[in-house]
Amino acid sequence: MSRAARRAESLIRSVRALEHIIERKRGLEDALPRASAGLEARAGGVIHDTVAGTLRHLHQYERRLDAAAAAAAGDRAWRAVEDMPLRLLMASALFQCEHTPASAAHVVRSATEGCAQLGRAWAQAPIESVVRNAAAGRGFFSRAGAAERLSLPAWLHEDLVSNLGARRLDAFGPLLLQRPSRLHLAVASSAGSPSEYAARLSEGSGPAARLVAVERSRRKAAALRESLAGEGRAAVVCGDATRPEEWAAACGEGGASAVVLDAPCSASGILRTRPEAKVHQSRESVEALCETQQRLLRAAWSRLAPGGELLYTTCSLLRAENEEAVQRFAAEAPGATLAPLRPPRGALSRAQPQGVTFLPSEEHQGGFVALLRKGERGQGRGGRGGGDSSRRRDVFV
């Protein structure tokens, strides 16, 4: 296979992966192994970078492609940009033009060859014109709004500005378009690893300490079992965490003394490593997630022993999933109080009575953490403060 043919195949594999992610709402970790099957590591790496990078820039690329099509003569350009596989092909080509060593001429040639592989040979000429014009920019950035420059869907940009302020978003927003370094990937994986939670929860608790992990996905549950194989007192239950009847028996009659609830969320704080969240989420999906988070909190609280603590974490930057979620729960749950937390020194964060929001930076990704304490039997409903909640805790992520 010639080099040009390999480049064209790489683009087509990237397009297929993007279709899989967007249309089936799958994650990068699901689509990329399929896309790179049978390829050498280097070729697979090109596809990985192209798919992830295209997703990071997709909302911006779509506006640029629309502008380039509007400037082109004839209606074939519009027909091309309105065709989903061709639109993704052009977006992938734009990414390779701007973020890989390949020359624009070679990338454009590969994109036109890819049209035939997609069964759309008629689009070769308009695609060449549209991609070249879009790559040239033609004043796009001078006219683009903040959402387009940061490649964020309009709803998410509006909510982030409302939640965090335009100045904060301008400070970290450009980071969301950058390729994560290995440091970011390592931090992301270690911060949420079950073995890390096991060590923290068991520390100082004596030899009788046990860890119970509940995971709905069979694949992830299997990975958890492998990860916790060295933890002799750990159990993994494959079940729905919103339904305590599926896993409560593993906690024993007395309940758990500590709970770590890593809640499903919009992933708006980790868009560098989860760029697919920008095409998967919407205001409506966030509303549904908020209700799921409340069900998870209620279920976990039901198995938390009096005097116990619940650490609530998300990878979100949205108040509805963070401060508002825990405040709403604490106002309703018997004996619940929110304990103030102190972020690590040097972390880009915002500490509030309801918890700590971490903003994306060069050193870490974004997210939220809050600590809820359950009063001893007989104590009434809580809220902020109460009990010994003035005692501050260090947060390590």
Overall average pLDDT of the 28-45 stretch: 94
- 191 vs 329: which has the higher pLDDT: 329
pLDDT at 206: 53
Q: Is 315 a catalytic residue?
A: yes
Residue 14 pLDDT exceeds 70: yes
Q: How confident is the model at residue 27 (pLDDT cuts 50, 70, 90)?
A: very high
Residue 189 pLDDT exceeds 60: no
Residue 394 pLDDT exceeds 70: no
Percent helix, strand, coil in the chain (nearest 5)? 55, 15, 30
**Which residue ranges make up the annotated binding site for S-adenosyl-L-methionine?**
215, 240, 262
pLDDT at 390: 40
Length of the chain: 397
Which positions ≥6 away from 315 have C-beta within 8 Å? 265, 267, 268, 269, 270, 274, 365, 366, 367
What are the structure tokens assigned to 128, written together?
Answer: 């060449």
Overall average pLDDT of the 285-298 stretch: 98
Check if the beta carbon of residue 224 is closer than 8 Å to that of residue 215: yes
Q: How confident is the model at residue 202 (pLDDT cuts 50, 70, 90)?
A: low
Whole-angstrom distance, CA of residue 382 vs CA of residue 109: 65
Q: How confident is the model at residue 393 (pLDDT cuts 50, 70, 90)?
A: very low
Q: How confident is the model at residue 251 (pLDDT cuts 50, 70, 90)?
A: confident
pLDDT at 183: 37
At the topology level, CATH places domain 3-144 in: N-utilizing Substance Protein B Homolog; Chain A (1.10.940)
The pLDDT tens digits for 38-75 are 999 999 999 999 999 999 999 999 999 998 998 886 78
Check if the beta carbon of residue 11 is closer than 8 Å to that of residue 114: yes
The catalytically annotated residue of 97, 238, 265, 315 is 315
- 39 vs 376: which has the higher pLDDT: 39
Domain with CATH 1.10.940.10 in the chain: 3-144
Half-sphere exposure of 96 (CA within 13 A, CB side): 31
- 294 vs 205: which has the higher pLDDT: 294
Mean pLDDT lowest among 108-117, 205-214, 272-281, 288-297 = 205-214
Domain with CATH 3.40.50.150 in the chain: 188-374
Pairing label, strands 355-358, 349-352: antiparallel
CATH entry, 188-374, from 3.40.50.150, 3.20.20.70, 3.40.50.1480, 3.10.20.30:
3.40.50.150
This prediction has a pTM of: 0.87
pLDDT at 185: 32
In the chain, what percentage of residues exceed pLDDT 70?
A: 85
Q: For residue 218, how many other CB atoms are within 10 A of its CB?
A: 9
Check if the beta carbon of residue 256 is closer than 8 Å to that of residue 209: no
End-to-end CA distance of the chain: give it in Å, rounded. Answer: 47
**Which residue ranges make up the annotated binding site?**
215, 240, 262
